[in-house]
Chain A
Amino acid sequence: MKKYITSASIAFGEYFVYRLNFILWRVRNILSVLMMYFLWHAVYLTRIDMFTYTRESMLTYILLIIFVGSVVLSTRAYKIAEDITTGNLKTFLLQPINYLGVALSKEVTDKLINITFSLVEFAILFIVLHPPLVLPQSMGTLFLFAIALFLGASLYFEFGVILSCIGFWSREVWAPRFLFYIIVTFLSGMYFPLDIVEGPLGVVLTLLPFGYLIYFPIAVFLERLPPSMLLNGFFLSLLWLLVLSLVSHKMWQKGLRTFTAEGS
Chain B
Amino acid sequence: MALGRVILRSLGVGGYHAILTHMTTITVSHLTKHYAVYHKSSGFLRSFTSLFHRNYHTVKAVEDISFTIADGDLVGFIGPNGAGKTTTLKCLCGLLHPTQGNVTVLGSTPAQRKSTFLTQIALVMGQKNQLWWDLPAIDTFRLNKEIYEINEQMYDKTLDELCHMLSVERLLDTPVRQLSLGERMKMELIASLLHRPKILFLDEPTIGLDVLMQKVMRDFIHQYNQRFHATILLTSHYMRDVKELCKRIIVIDHGKIIYDGTLSKLISQYAKHKIVTAVFEKESIPTDLLAWDKKAKVFGGKVTLTISKKDVNQLARKLLAFKGLQDFTIEEPEIEDIVRIIFSKASA
Q: Quick check: A94 and B122 within 8 Å, CB to CB? A: yes
CB-based nearest A residue for B120? A96
Name which of B2-10, B101-109, B128-136, B157-165 contacts chain A: B128-136
Q: Cα distance A57–B93 when bound, in Å?
A: 58
Q: Quick check: B149 and A10 within 8 Å, CB to CB? A: no
Q: Cα distance A12–B125 when bound, in Å?
A: 27
Q: Cα distance A176–B146 when bound, in Å?
A: 35
Q: Cα distance A30–B25 when bound, in Å?
A: 59
Q: Quick check: B94 and A94 within 8 Å, CB to CB? A: yes
Cβ proximity bits A6-49 to B, threshold 8 Å, 1 near / 0 not: 11001001100110000000000000000000000000000000
How many chain B residues touch A (Cβ–Cβ < 8 Å)?
30
Contact of A96 among B128, B132, B148 (CB under 8 A): B148
Q: Quick check: A10 and B132 within 8 Å, CB to CB? A: yes
- Interface residue ranges of A221-264 to B (CB < 8 Å): 257, 259-261, 263-264
Given the known interface contacts A7-B143, A97-B147, the answer about A14 and B134 at a Cβ–Cβ threshold of 8 Å is yes
A181 to chain B, nearest CB (A): 23
Contact of B115 among A6, A88, A96 (CB under 8 A): A96
Q: Quick check: A260 and B123 within 8 Å, CB to CB? A: no
- Greatest chain B CB density within 10 A among A6, A96, A257 is at A96
Contact of B127 among A10, A13, A14, A264 (CB under 8 A): A264
Q: Quick check: B135 and A10 within 8 Å, CB to CB? A: yes
Q: Cα distance A84–B151 when bound, in Å?
A: 31
Q: Cα distance A259–B125 when bound, in Å?
A: 17
Residues of B with C-beta under 8 A to A87: 128
Cβ proximity bits B267-287 to A, threshold 8 Å, 1 near / 0 not: 000000000000000000000
B92 to chain A, nearest CB (A): 11
Q: Cα distance A2–B35 when bound, in Å?
A: 37
- Interface residue ranges of B70-115 to A (CB < 8 Å): 90, 93-97, 113, 115
Q: Quick check: B147 and A14 within 8 Å, CB to CB? A: no
Q: Quick check: A261 and B90 within 8 Å, CB to CB? A: yes
Given the known interface contacts A3-B146, A17-B134, A17-B135, the answer about A93 and B115 at a Cβ–Cβ threshold of 8 Å is no
Residues on B lying within 8 angstroms of A by beta carbon are: 35, 90, 93-97, 113, 115, 118-119, 121-123, 125, 127-128, 130, 132, 134-135, 139-140, 142-144, 146-149
8 contacts between A and B (CB under 8 A): A7-B146, A90-B128, A94-B93, A95-B144, A95-B147, A260-B96, A261-B90, A261-B96
